[in-house]
Amino acid sequence: MANRTLARLKTEMIFNQDLARLVDVMKGIAAAQYHVMDRKRAHLERYGKAVEELFDVYDFRLSDHPFIRSDDARHKLICLVTTDSGFLGGLNMKVVQAGFKQEEKGTQYAVVGERGVNYVREFGRTYTAFPGINPDESRFELVERLASHIADAVLGGQFGKAIIVYPYSISFTAQRVEVLNLIPCPIFFKNRSMAAPTDEVQAREVILESSPSQAVEFLTGLWLRKRLAEVFESAKLSEYGARTMHLEESYQTLSKLNKQLKLEFFKARREKIDQSLRESFTSQLMCES
């Protein structure tokens, strides 16, 4: 019995040591992925400034376009951004729960990520599924698909509002769930004075070669795609950061377990040695007598 106990402890100790090394490697990979993606974000910031400058040229706030004027009689579209990676069930659930808090009567969902789709399906909501975010350039194809889905649904009169709920990366070690308004497009109202000038007043300084509706749709499309690209990058950064922190906690737990197993192993080994010495000494005494 003692031999089997000692052998079992040694097997468990070796297994946990190997598992701890594997978790440590996975943690390092997640941390490296975070820092690599974080260094690739600057070009979107420069692009965002260029897009915002276009909105300063003309004030469209008096337009009745659905991208600017919200129709409260229509339903709301809620976009949820989740991750398909492991160890992040808690983060995904926070995103879904935050989305449910934004619900109104007739709300429908656009869900990015299979894990999020499973949650929404389980709770019986109506949704449109999109694949998860990849860290490579293919994520921009997903940006195009989701932006087109949102724009077409609003222009088609199906929805009057659109928001997106996603994990926002505060830092390497901290994440929070953010809710962002997409439609009506908030960029039309940014840094504007209270009174909106009429088209007649603006026509003295700006010539619109396209119709106001075409200009609104073009500008909204640019901003929407830029914003979704930022959201997806933040979601991936949150994924890498949260996974690193979760793996670090697992590594610390395994390290403590390994210390405990080592103590138990050496204690059992010492007891076995002591037992062998006592048996040997007893046998020797019996032979002498």
> pLDDT confidence of 1, banded at 50, 70, 90?
very low
**What pLDDT was estimated at residue 143?**
93
Task: Write down the pTM of the prediction.
Answer: 0.80
pLDDT tier at 27, thresholds 50, 70, 90: confident
- Are residues 238 and 164 both part of a single domain? yes
Number of domains forming the structure of the chain:
2
pLDDT at residue 42 in the model: 56
Domain CATH number, residue 165: 3.40.1380.10
**Residue 153 CA to chain centroid, in angstroms?**
24
Residues 148 and 272 in one domain: no
Q: Among 71-80, 116-125, 171-180, which stretch is predicted with the lowest mean pLDDT?
A: 71-80
Q: Is residue 169 pLDDT above 80, yes or no? A: yes
Check whether residue 51 and residue 167 sit in a common domain.
yes
pLDDT at position 208: 78
Report which of residues 247 and 177 the model is more confident about. Answer: 177
Q: Are 269 and 232 in a shared domain? A: no
Residue 151 has pLDDT above 90, yes or no: yes
CA distance 65 to 57: 18
Lateral strand order in the sheet of 127-130: 127-130, 108-112, 75-81, 159-169, 175-183
Q: How far is CA 148 from CA 106, 114, 118, 156, 223, in A?
A: 21, 20, 23, 12, 12
* One domain, residues 70 and 192: yes
Whether 2 has a pLDDT exceeding 70, the answer reads no
Domain match, 186 and 58 both:
yes
Q: Are residues 283 and 189 in the same domain?
A: no
Residues 92-133: pLDDT tens digits?
999 999 999 999 888 999 999 999 999 999 999 999 999 998
Domain match, 257 and 232 both: no
- Which residue in the block uniquely carries the two structure tokens 């390994």? 258
Q: Kindly state whether residues 36 and 90 are assigned to the same domain.
A: yes
Are residue 174 and residue 283 in the same domain, yes or no?
Answer: no
Q: Within this chain, do residues 80 and 106 fall inside the same structural domain, yes or no? A: yes
Among the ranges given (25-39, 114-128, 129-143), the one the predictor scored with the smallest mean pLDDT: 25-39
In a shared domain, residues 174 and 43:
yes
Residue 272, domain extent: 2-25+252-288
The vertex-55 CA angle with 52 and 58, nearest 5°, equals: 160
pLDDT at 221: 92
**What pLDDT shows up at residue 73?**
62
